[in-house]
Each structure stands twice: as C-alpha cells, then as structure tokens.
C-alpha cells in the first residue's frame, strides 16, 4: 500500500460507526464487566468481540507506525494510535486476570497511547509491578522505558550482562547440553529459548545505549541505540518471533518520541551573549539532576510543551502589574502607570545598576538601600570582625562587634525593633552569651521576649543579610589595593548565633537541626567538648560512644529537656547535600581487549560492581576495569570518555558529593 491508501484506510477505521461501532461496543462492555465476566442482566455481546477488538487494535497500531515511517498526516497518525490503544485497553483493563497474554496486550495498549502523545494514559496502564503484568524480559524492559524507571532498567541490563546469559558462548553451551538431553524438558523448546535470549541481548544493548544518551545528551548514542534495535528487529522478523518483533519495532519509535521531547532536545543547547558559558553548565546540571530522581524526569510530555509555550506567551504579553491595571478604569490606569514611571525615573537617576541589584537582593527600597550604602564601610568591617571572633571562640569581641552591628542596623527602617527596650544592649549581650534573660526582664518580661523574637531573631538577621548581599552586589573590596571581596571571608556564623542565642557554633548547629532547648544545647556541647560544624558531623557526634553513654543517664542533658532530647536523637536525619556542581578528573584503567580499544572521545560507562569498578561500552558490555575503586554508587551522573592515553579515561561528574570522595 502507498501512503494515500494507508491514510484512506485509517480514516475509515477511526470513524465512530466503523464495523458496527466496534470500539463503542467494546468500551461499553468494559464499563460493566469484571474480571472478564458480565453481570446478570447485562446486554448480550458477541463472543468474538475481544478477538475483533484486538485485531482492530493491532491493525491500527501497524498502520499508525506505517504512517509515521512514511511521513503521513500527523493528526491521522495520532488518531490511529489512540484508537488502537483504546481498543486493546477495552479488552485488558477489566478482562480475564488469568489470561497469560494480558500483560503483553496491556503493554501494546500503553505503547499505542505513548505513540499518540498520551504519555499519562500509557503510564497509568502500566503502573503496577512487572510480576502482575506477566511480562517477558524484553516486554518488561519496554515497560520500564515507558514508566521512566531508568535506574531499574539499567540495573536489569547490568545483571543480564554480568551474568552472561545472552552471550554467544552461554547460548551455544546451553544448546549443546539440551541436545545431549541434560536440559531438555517437555514444556520448553531449547532453540526458541536460545533465540529469545539472543534477541533479548540485542534489545538490552539498544536500550542501554539509549539510557547513556539520556545521561550524556549525545545524539550519536541515540543513533547507536536505533541501529542495535533495527538489527534486532530484522532478526526477529526473519525468525518469525512475533512478541519480540513488536518490542523492537515499538521501542525504535518510542526512542524517537522520547528523545524529541527530552530536555536535551527541548532546551536550547546554548544562548547568545556573555552568559552562554554558564547556560551550558546550568543546563547540564538541570538535566542530570532530573534524570537521577526516583522516577526519572527526562522529557516534557507533548501537552506540557504546548502548555509551556502558552505560558511563556502569556508572561511576555501580560505581567501581574498589567493584570492588576486591567481591574481599574482607564483614568486610574494612566495615573498608576505615570506614578510608576516617575518613581522608576527617580530610582534610576539616583542609583547605579549594582546598587539597584543590591537593594533587590536585600529586599529593601530606595531609602533603606541608600542608608545601607551610607554605613556600608563600617558595617562590612563589623560583619567580618564578628564572624572572625566567633570562629576563633573570642566571645568578648564577638559580642562587641554584633552589638556594633545592631547599633547601625536598628537605626534604619524597617529594621527598627518593636518594642525597643532601653536595655536592649544588655539583653543582646546576655542572649549571645547563652545566659538566661529572666534577671534582665523584671517587670518588662513581655517586652523583652517580644524584643528577642522581633528584634533579635527576625530584624537583626535580616539587616545583617542585607549588609552581606549589598556588599556582594556592589563588589565591595577589602584590604590593601582591594585584594579581597566579602566572599573571601567567613560571614555565615553571626546570623545563626543571633537566631539561636549562642556564640558556640556547635550549639547553634544543634538547635538549627531541631533541638529546641537553648540551655540544654549549650550544656550537651559543653559536656562533650563537641566541635561539629555541620549536620553530617553532628550525626557522627550523636553516634559516638561518649554521647551514647551519656544518653543512658535519665537526667541528661537536663531533667526538663530529657523528653525533647530523646525525641530529637530519634528523629534526626542529616539532610543530603543537594547543591550539584560539575567536577572533572582522570583515572587509570585497564582494557579487556587492548586490540579493540575504543577511539579517543568515545563515551563509556563507569559502574560499581561489588568490590570492582568496571568500564562498560554504550551497549553495556564490560570492556575494562578502573584501578581506582568506586566507594559507593554516585548520587549524580558520572560521564566518562576515552582519552588519547589508552591507559586512562576522563570523568565528568554532575552531582552533590565531591568526586574525590567517590573513589577509594
């Protein structure tokens, strides 16, 4: 059939009245039957309805693929796939659960929906365990691809490859044993099993290369995967192995669909301008972090792409300000617009671009920003001095510098506390030193507590952060000839000290981690001479023998805080490091077959396998071993390429943990 004949055939097949409303009859039956049985009093349906629906679905799926391959009408092609999916779904969704073909048919329906750009419907059809679906190895691999369970799919391929079940040697050996009668069974065909394993090996090779393409963004690997699957398709056709043939043919088209809607294809690879270099790296970090989620997010669904385009158009055509204006009459709109323009002209006339950026990042307006500019030099020096004193354990100078900062900040609106007691300096000093505030409260207990909450925990940290980000935005320099910037100094200790009420960094870390007793936090740190500075060190300290021994004391840290402490140590889990970055390294490797070494720049895999670190080809065949051992499986994406030196490979890692820590 030529293209025109195929399109005419599909057009007639998707008409609602086709074959006596076949699809409508199937969907009506699906609404009322349960486990393949109709309830009493149900309308009569012809006994061949399931067969007719499956034949109709298979035919439309094939015709849709033909349309796709020959560049036919896109709308008609999607309609063919959608009708195919609905016909097969009508048979399997509530059909006989004991039908051994049910899993395969469900997979065909899901594949049809996916090819019709209805990914959500495809996902919902397969959202159950592979065991429930009774799928073969190849069918399960295809289902994992549709479900974006890439980690599970990669693990299954890796297990298959390392086990050597699909290798030529293993298949020949098993056939030889079967021929001798040692493995022959009445209910199995050794030759069919061997052919299935060989085809599965080719199928896994193609999917393995495609997973690597999604991780690296290399389009040549997509072509490699397509080539592997095409060879498998031809072999399955020659051997007349129908389920395997379907898996290969559908997978080839799914790869194209997934790649064309993947972030690698949808997000521009680069941008014009001075930000082009950072765009490329941020784009890579974004994509790799999505791939490593529990359910890999590798692409935008067609509906999401269309929705994103509409959203961008709406944003470009209308802002929140514009929508607010439309609520008023024309005179008010002109008045508000004129006021905004006049205010903008004043701000632009009195400030520089770095100043405006600093005001924005600090969350302040023009007047407050100008006040911060005026006190910047002294405030910057006090900020650096306060943090340095905290770092060195110098309480006297820490308190002096922070009080000096407060004197500056509390004089600027909107950082002025309410209430603002006369003895606020004494309150701040006692608070920082971890002392009880009761002796300072007297009859003004309420005001003192409100000052701590409003002035010390909220407004003073806000003001200090405003000073810091203003210095960063304006590029303030320090030292002789301006050799240093604010980022060259530790400036992150003062705010936690103020928020928690202690200059002890470990006690502040403990309280920020969730232990809600200031006095008890200070005591446990003092009792154990703790020096942890982050949540991961805190976890190690909690697991230490000293802390475990003290935990046996029913009165520790204090009788009043005992319950809070037990709750904290039971529930505390250190947060995972979540800031991803790119890191590069080179490691030494040895190759299994040095005479068939890959050319320079070839992408390979580095995978931890027990105590060894193996190098795999794109098709997931072991080709070498690294001398350095992966201590654990990386949380991020590890990309490797061969180099001009045959004894090494270049690594590029996108992930949260240091690359050096991954290798023993």
- Both 474 and 394 in one domain: the answer is yes
> The tokens of 498 are what?
């103020």
CA angle at 393 for the pair 388 and 399, rounded to the nearest 5°: 70
DSSP code of 442? G
Could you give the CA distance from residue 409 to residue 463 in angstroms, rounded to a whole number?
Answer: 6
Out of 481, 500, 519, pick the residue that ends a domain: 500
| Amino acid 91: pLDDT | 93
CB 203 within 8 A of CB 227: no
For the chain, the domain total comes to: 4
Name the pTM for this structure: 0.67
CA dist 22 → 47, 52, 53, 56 (Å): 13, 8, 7, 9
CB atoms within 10 A of CB 16: 8
At 304 the pLDDT is: 63
Residue 310 domain-assigned? no
In a domain, 191, yes or no: yes
Alpha-carbon distance of 440 to 434, in angstroms, equals 13
Q: How far is CA 553 from the centre of its chain?
A: 43
Rg (CA), the chain: 34
Judge whether 319 lies within some domain: no
Residue 122 lies in a domain: yes
- Last-in-domain residue among 485, 500, 515: 500
Same domain, 410 and 509: no
Which distant-in-sequence residues (6+ apart) come within 8 Å of 35 by Cβ?
Answer: 94, 95, 96, 97
Residue 258: count of CB within 10 angstroms of its CB: 21
Q: Domain for residue 66, yes or no?
A: yes
CA–CA separation, 595 and 610 (whole Å):
27
SS3 assignment, position 327: coil
- β partners of residue 34: 37
510 and 603 part of one domain: no
Asked if residue 490 lies in contact with residue 388, where contact means CB atoms within 8 angstroms, the answer is: yes
Which residue stretches of the chain have pLDDT < 70? Answer: 128-132, 181-188, 273-275, 294-296, 300-319, 441-443, 575-578, 664
Which of 636, 635, 634, 610 is closest to 622 using CA atoms?
Answer: 610
Pair 231, 153 in one domain:
yes
* pLDDT at site 314: 63
DSSP 141-202: HHHHHHHT-HHHHHHHHHHHHHHTTTSHHHHHHHHHHHHTTSS--TT--HHHHHHHHHHHHH
Q: Is residue 188 part of a domain?
A: yes
3-state secondary structure of 418: coil
Task: Examine the domain organization and report whether 533 and 415 are in the same domain.
Answer: no
Give the domain-ending residue among 247, 266, 285: 266
Regarding whether 124 and 51 lie in a shared domain, the answer is yes
CA atoms within 13 A on the CB side of 570: 6
Q: How many Cβ atoms from other residues are within 10 Å of residue 370's Cβ? A: 15
Range of the domain at 381: 356-500
- Nearest CA among 207, 195, 211 for reference residue 243: 195
Provide the token pair at 597: 């070494």
> Quick one: 550 and 655 in the same domain?
no
In angstroms, the CA 116 to CA 365 distance is 52
Handedness of CA 378, 384, 386, 392 (dihedral sign): negative
Whether 491 is in a domain gets the answer: yes
Report the alpha-carbon distance of residue 457 to residue 450 in Å, rounded: 10
Q: 10 Å Cβ neighbour count for 46?
A: 11
Same domain, 521 and 551: yes
**What region does 501 belong to: left with phi over 0, alpha with psi -120 to 50, or beta?**
left
Q: Is residue 612 part of a domain?
A: yes
| Together in a domain, 553 and 586 | no
The partner residues of 625 in beta bridges, in order of sequence, read 590, 614
Q: 612 and 553, same structural domain?
A: no
**Cis peptide upstream of residue 557 (ω within 30 degrees of 0):** yes
Closest CA to 375 of 418, 355, 405: 405
Same domain assignment for residues 481 and 378 = yes
Which of 62, 73, 122, 145 has the alpha carbon at shortest distance from 303?
122
Question: Which residues partner with 612 through β-bridges?
Answer: 609
What is the rounded CA–CA span in Å between residue 321 and residue 318?
Answer: 8
Same domain, 539 and 623: no
Among the listed residues 284, 255, 291, 289, the one whose alpha carbon sits nearest the alpha carbon of residue 267: 284
pLDDT of residue 580: 86
């Amino acid at each position: 059939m030529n293209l025109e004949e195929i399109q005419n055939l599909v057009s007639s097949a998707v008409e609602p009245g086709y074959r006596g409303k076949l699809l409508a009859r199937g969907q009506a039956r699906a609404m009322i039957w349960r486990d393949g049985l109709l309830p009493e009093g149900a309308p009569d349906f012809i006994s061949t309805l399931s067969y007719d629906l499956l034949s109709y679905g298979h035919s439309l799926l094939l015709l849709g693929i033909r349309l796709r391959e020959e560049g036919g009408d896109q709308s008609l092609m999607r309609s063919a796939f959608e009708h195919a999916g609905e016909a097969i779904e009508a048979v399997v969704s509530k059909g006989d659960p004991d039908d051994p073909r049910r899993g395969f048919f469900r997979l065909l329906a899901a594949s049809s929906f996916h090819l019709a750009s209805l990914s959500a419907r495809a996902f919902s059809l397969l959202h159950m365990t592979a065991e429930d679906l009774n799928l073969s190895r190849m069918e399960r691999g295809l289902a994992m691809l549709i479900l974006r369970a890439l980690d599970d799919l990669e693990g299954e391929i890796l297990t298959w490859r390392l086990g050597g079940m699909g290798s030529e040697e293993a298949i020949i050996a098993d056939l030889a044993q079967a021929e001798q009668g040692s493995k022959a069974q009445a209910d199995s065909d050794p030759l069919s099993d061997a052919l299935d394993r060989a085809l599965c090996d080719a199928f896994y090779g193609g999917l393995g290369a495609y997973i690597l393409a999604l991780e690296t963004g290399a389009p040549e690997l997509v072509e490699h995967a397509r080539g592997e699957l095409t060879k498998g398709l031809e072999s399955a056709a020659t051997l007349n192995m129908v389920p395997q043939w379907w898996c290969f043919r559908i997978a080839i088209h799914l790869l194209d669909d997934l790649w064309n809607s993947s972030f690698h294809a949808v997000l521009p690879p680069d941008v014009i301008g001075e930000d082009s270099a950072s765009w490329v790296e941020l784009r890579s970090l974004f994509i790799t972090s999505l791939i490593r989620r529990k359910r890999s997010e590798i692409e935008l669904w067609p509906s999401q792409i269309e929705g994103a385009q509409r959203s961008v158009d709406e944003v470009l055509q209308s802002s929140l300000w514009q929508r607010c204006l439309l609520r008023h009459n024309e005179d008010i709109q002109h008045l508000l617009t004129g006021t905004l323009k006049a205010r903008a002209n004043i701000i632009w006339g009195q400030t520089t671009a770095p100043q405006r950026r600093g005001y924005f990042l600090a969350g302040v307006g023009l007047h407050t920003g100008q006040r911060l500019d005026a006190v910047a030099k002294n405030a910057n020096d006090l900020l650096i001095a306060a943090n340095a004193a905290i770092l060195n354990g110098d309480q006297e100078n820490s308190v002096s510098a922070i009080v000096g900062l407060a004197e500056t900040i509390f004089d600027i609106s909107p950082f002025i506390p309410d209430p603002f007691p006369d003895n606020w300096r004494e309150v701040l000093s006692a608070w920082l030193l971890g002392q009880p505030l009761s002796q300072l409260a007297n009859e003004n207990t309420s005001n003192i507590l409100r000052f701590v909450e409003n002035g010390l925990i909220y407004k003073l940290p806000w003001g200090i952060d405003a000073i810091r980000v203003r210095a960063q935005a304006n590029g303030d320099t320090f030292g002789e000839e301006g050799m240093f910037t604010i980022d060259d100094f530790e400036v992150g200790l003062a705010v936690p000290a103020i928020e928690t009420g202690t200059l002890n960094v470990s006690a502040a870390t403990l309280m920020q981690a969730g232990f809600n007793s200031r006095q008890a936090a200070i005591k446990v740190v003092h009792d154990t001479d703790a020096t942890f500075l982050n949540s991961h060190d805190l976890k190690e300290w909690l697991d230490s023998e000293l802390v475990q021994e003290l935990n046996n004391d029913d009165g520790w840290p204090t009788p009043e805080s005992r319950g809070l402490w037990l709750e904290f140590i039971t529930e505390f889990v250190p947060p995972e490091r979540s800031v991803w970055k790119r890191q590069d390294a080179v490691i030494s490797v040895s190759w299994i077959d040095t005479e068939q070494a890959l050319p320079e720049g070839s992408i390979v895999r580095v995978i931890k396998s027990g105590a060894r670190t193996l190098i795999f080809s794109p098709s997931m065949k072991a080709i070498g071993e690294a001398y350095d051992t992966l201590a654990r499986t990386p949380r991020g994406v590890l990309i490797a390429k061969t180099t001009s030196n045959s004894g090494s490979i270049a690594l590029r890692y996108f992930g949260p943990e240091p690359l050096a820590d991954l290798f023993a």
